[in-house]
Structure 1
C-alpha cells in the first residue's frame, strides 16, 4: 500500500469518521453512520483504495 492521503485530508477523514461513529452509536443517525469506520480507517492508515483506483493522491510531492 502506497500512502496516498495527505495531511489535511487525513485530519478531515479522522474527524468525520469519529463524528459519524459517535452519531451512529448514540442512535442519532441510522446504520449508514457506521460507514465512519471506513472513513476513519482510511485516515489512520493514510491509504484510500478509491484514490488508488483513480490514480489520485493528496500527499505532497517531492521537489527535487
Structure 2
C-alpha cells in the first residue's frame, strides 16, 4: 500500500490519536475519545483513505 502521509503528518496523527484515546480514561471520560483510534491507525500505517479521495499527498517524492 503506497504511503501518502509525510513524517510530520504521521507524528501529529499519532500524538492526536493518543491524546484523544487518553480522554476516554481521564478528563471528560466520554466515548467520543475513541475516535482517536482513526488518526492513530492512519498515522502508524502512513496511509489515509481520505487523502487518497481528495488527492492530497504529504509524503515527500522518492
Q: Same fold (TM over 0.5)?
A: yes
Residues matched between the structures, number: 62
- Output the TM-score relative to the length of structure 1: 0.86
Q: CA RMSD in A?
A: 1.3
CA deviation after TM superposition for structure 1 residue 23, in Å: 0.6
Question: Counterpart in 2 of 1:34?
Answer: 34
Structure of higher CA gyration radius: 1
Between the aligned partners of 1:12 and 1:37, the Cα distance in structure 2 is 13
Question: Counterpart in 2 of 1:6?
Answer: 6
Gaps of 5+ in 1: none
Question: Counterpart in 1 of 2:45?
Answer: 45
Gaps of 5+ in 2: none
SS in 2 for 1:13: helix
